[in-house]
Amino acid sequence: MVINQGQNGNPNQQQSPLDIDSIRSDFPILQRTVHDQPLVYLDNAATSQKPQQVIDAINRYYRESNANVHRGIHSLSDEATTLYEETREKVRQFINADTTSSIIYTKGTTESLNLVANAWGRKNLNPGDEILISSMEHHSNIVPWQLVARDTGATIRGIELTDEGCLDLDHLAESLNDRTRIVAITQLSNVLGTINPIGEITKMAHGAGAYVVVDGAQGAAHMPTDVQEMGCDFYAFSGHKMCGPTGVGILYGRRELLEEMHPFLGGGEMIEEVYLESSTYKDPPWKFEAGTPNIAQVVGLGAAIDYLNTLGMDKILAHESDLVNYTMHRLKYAEDITVFGPTGKRGGIVSFTLEGTHPHDIATIVDREGVALRAGHHCAQPLMRKLNVGSTARASIYFYNTTDEIDAFIRSLDKVREIFGDVPERTV
């Protein structure tokens, strides 16, 4: 197989709207080597790297303002509380929520989705009620609903996909009925790169009287997100996938729903009055934030949002769209590679298999070339079964990645072929 695409592979590749060299200098880890090779980090769907601005914000909090929030009278507690609540307002603006009382801090997307399933589901689901879950969901948006369905008598039904890996909206419409209570859907598939039309899905679900829970773990970090425009009832995402630290996430919920829900966790901070026999609880969001929170991580999340806003989410989306198109353009010439997901508009996630090679072997070999990929079922085993594969290799892109890095990734696959099979003839 002869490939002649010119120096950069795709002659239609456009100039990035971002100053990538300047951006990359903000990320200390991107300057390191792995196995004596420059690091090419393409595992961003698992977690993103952190700019110096976020690292400094966390360090500054511990150096200057470390204290517990809300309950203290002294200056350090007041400073910590201010930083903590300022981030809540930054989150509100970032996703265009109508009020900060709809913004709940959690440890991540997984806890956010468990919160909805338990605090809303256990109160409102009954035998015969139905929960619709798409076939592309991460386990975090499947298992919590299974546990609640088991205990409430509700039933889980799957929403099918098209042959290309998009949500089958016709099947969704056929599945919605007067027993449907929840539609749980990802904004952006962590395997297929599929971008789901949340606004359209929400209109369909609301028309049937159902609520919509959105897993935004892959979406919030990569595209402008407007929960009011989407119309969803709950939206969950994690800080660590958007340049923030691990250990902090967000659940957005419509205020009227949060007010009706029981607490998920009990303890300090979420109460008004406690008696031996009973307690009364604070209003949202504090009703759902029991105990000492991850304060430093919240501060880091605020710094990450500031960083992303400085770049501009529209520009981030444009750069990543160009880069995933470039990646798909390079891979389509390889006859021994199967790429899963839509061929048109998609997020910066490229899951693939290489003929005759296990994905774990791919990831191991390319790591020796400095390329960081993910291999496995990506916490999406129902989807793997539909794709008729046990696992895939996955390259996932973020705004600090470059076409040169994609070229290095493509070249690293030849190292895999050298070990497991013939290397296609190339001119690039």
Give residues with Cβ within 8 angstroms of 404, minimum separation 6.
Answer: none
As separate numbers, helices (DSSP H) first and strands (DSSP E) second, the chain gives 15, 17
Cis peptide before 197 (omega within 30 of 0): no
CB atoms within 10 A of CB 203: 13
State the alpha helices, DSSP H only, in 5-74: 20-25, 52-60
What's the half-sphere exposure (Cβ side, CA atoms, 13 Å) at 414? 11
For helices 295-311 and 75-95, the axis angle rounded to 10 degrees is 40
Beta bridge partners of 185: 214
Find out whether 407 and 7 touch, Cβ atoms under 8 Å: no
For helices 295-311 and 313-331, the axis angle rounded to 10 degrees is 80
Find out whether 51 and 25 touch, Cβ atoms under 8 Å: no
State the alpha helices, DSSP H only, in 312-380: 313-331, 359-367
Q: How far, CA to CA in Å, does 130 sit from each of 154, 180, 182? A: 6, 5, 7
CB atoms within 10 A of CB 35: 10
Compute the distance between CA of residue 95 and CA of residue 89 in angstroms, rounded to an integer.
10
Find out whether 116 and 234 touch, Cβ atoms under 8 Å: yes
Find out whether 89 and 100 touch, Cβ atoms under 8 Å: yes
**Residue 281 one-letter amino acid:** Y
Q: Which among 166, 232, 243, 379 is annotated as catalytic?
A: 379
Find out whether 154 and 125 touch, Cβ atoms under 8 Å: yes
State the alpha helices, DSSP H only, in 26-142: 52-60, 75-95, 109-115, 122-124
Beta bridge partners of 34: 37
Compute the distance between CA of residue 328 and CA of residue 344 in angstroms, rounded to an integer.
10
Compute the distance between CA of residue 388 and CA of residue 221 in angstroms, rounded to an integer.
29
Give yes or no: 166 in active site: no
Q: How far, CA to CA in Å, does 99 sit from each of 82, 253, 424? A: 17, 10, 56
* Residues taking part in catalysis: 379
